Structure 1
Amino acid sequence: MKYSGLMLDFGGVILKTPFEMHRLVEKKLNFKENTLNWYGPFDPKSDLLWLKMQANKISEQDYWREKSRLIGNLIGKRWTLRDYMTCCYHGFQESDIIRKEAREAIIKVKESGLSVGILTNEIEYFHGKEWMDALDILKNVEYLVDGSRTKVLKPNYRAYQFAIESSGLNANEIIFIDDQIRNVNGAKKSRLHAIYFDVTEPVQAFKIALDLLGVC
């Protein structure tokens, strides 16, 4: 099968996870190192709420809202999810928050004349348009389909259809990468070639995708 495009999730795949930002966040908030001691997929046993989300007992938004509340409590404030995301990702260099593997893959695919775009659930909801507009990485993709605007979230079938239509390709021509199993399964139902992104091994999924695309 010849593939002509790469479609990426944003948070976790392109943007580093909040877990990977713990040390920088601790410095920013003047916390002692390891104050933030829950690590989601990096150490599931350290994070019972993460396990609950993976079991589909709570939503991803519910998970991050609770983490936002807990960190806000540590500084005596009532933090919203947006407050926590702002703390994690605003005020840092782009190289601190964006995976180098993602940047390299996007550039290689683009330079090879293939399609590259993003299908994300809530980048604008989490971060705001002004922050998005300042990111160079987003200027290198052909399309960005965001559930914040479409009001349709993965793994809903329609979310993938919006992105497929935006790509201008057939579904079976596209390689899709996401760090949530339920979203990978949803993509497969939409006939995308879906690859699970293991955030603990960020090189692997990109290598598989680039090999399938014939990009060196």
Structure 2
Amino acid sequence: MAFAAVIFDFGGVITSSPFEAFNRLEAERGLPQNFVRRINATNPDSNAWALFERAEIDAARFDALFAEEARAHGHHLEGSAVLAVLAGAVRPAMIRALDQLAAAGYRLGCITNNVPTGHGAGMARSSDRADEMEQIFARFEHVIESSKAGVRKPDPRIYTMMCAHLGLAPAQCVYLDDLGINCKPAAALGMHAIKVTSGEQALTDLSAVLGLALG
């Protein structure tokens, strides 16, 4: 086969996009649409979100720093409120696809930017959710979580770390992520990158690349 491994982002690919939850929170609080994304796009390597995803600060410090950043953008929003809505709903078709890929002989990896709060892989907010996440993460041969690795996407090092663990060249890997900024370094390294806009689109594109019906 032309490719040996498929590497997935988690939030926005395996689960629905957290941006949908952020938009609902913004609507509830009377904030501008995409306000959270605007904050997180400002100083993206050193803002509260970046520091938390690299586990350089704890949840309490994130709560305070994010609130400061929100105030600098003209509105009030505490970091704890953002964390409370972070987890997206699992996409069942993506889970089926993971099992289909494994059965077809593809190796599976996951690279996820997450925060050091909650329980278990994926940092779920409840024990039931943690159990569900553990069952999903168990399908991957290797998982890199930014909050444990101390490096986050789009830093190219996180992609080379995955390739090194799998013992594969980037050109042997397909990578899926819902953020173009995270797809670009993967593609620059030689991976076949797929930008995910929906679960259906992701599986259609991946099926075409691999010549394998998925979902």
What TM-score does the superposition give when structure 2 sets the normalisation length?
A: 0.69
Q: How big is the shift at 1:143?
A: 0.9
Is the counterpart of residue 14 in structure 1 residue 14 in structure 2?
Answer: yes
Amino acid paired to 1:14: I
* 1:16–1:127 distance in 2 versus 1, CA, 3 Å: farther
CA contact (8 A) 1:22 1:36 kept: no
Give the distance between the partners of 1:169 and 1:37, measured in 2 at CA. Answer: 48
Give the distance between the partners of 2:186 and 2:117, measured in 1 at CA. Answer: 22
* 1:52–1:84 distance in 2 versus 1, CA, 3 Å: closer
Give the distance between the partners of 2:30 and 2:97, measured in 1 at CA. Answer: 31
Tell me the residue number matched to 2:209. Answer: 212
Amino acid paired to 2:148: R
CA contact (8 A) 2:177 2:195 kept: yes
Tell me the residue number matched to 1:41. Answer: none
SS at match of 2:42: coil
1:202 corresponds, among 190, 194, 199, to 199
* 1:18–1:154 distance in 2 versus 1, CA, 3 Å: closer
SS at match of 1:144: strand
SS at match of 1:145: strand
Q: How big is the shift at 1:177?
A: 0.7
What TM-score does the superposition give when structure 1 sets the normalisation length?
A: 0.69
1:97 corresponds, among 69, 74, 89, to 89
Amino acid paired to 2:154: P
1:57 corresponds, among 24, 31, 42, to 42
Tell me the residue number matched to 1:47. Answer: 34
Instruction: After superposition, give the CA deviation of every residue in 1:70-120 in whole Å (9 maximum; x if it has no partner).
Output: 9xxxxxxx9544x6434554xxxxxx7211232122121111111111011
Instruction: After superposition, give the CA deviation of every residue in 1:6-59 in whole Å (9 maximum; x if it has no partner).
Output: 101111111222344479x88xxxxxxx52566xxxxxx722453464xx4343
The count of aligned residue pairs is 187
Matches within 5 A, 1:63-102: 80-81=79-80, 84-89=82-87, 97-102=89-94
CA contact (8 A) 1:49 1:63 kept: no
Give the distance between the partners of 2:203 and 2:29, measured in 1 at CA. Answer: 29
CA contact (8 A) 1:3 1:212 kept: no
Q: Which has the higher helix share?
A: 1
CA contact (8 A) 1:171 1:191 kept: yes
SS at match of 2:110: strand
SS at match of 2:174: strand
CA contact (8 A) 1:9 1:119 kept: yes
Give the distance between the partners of 2:85 and 2:35, measured in 1 at CA. Answer: 23
Amino acid paired to 2:153: K
Gaps of 5+ in 2: 51-61, 69-76, 125-129
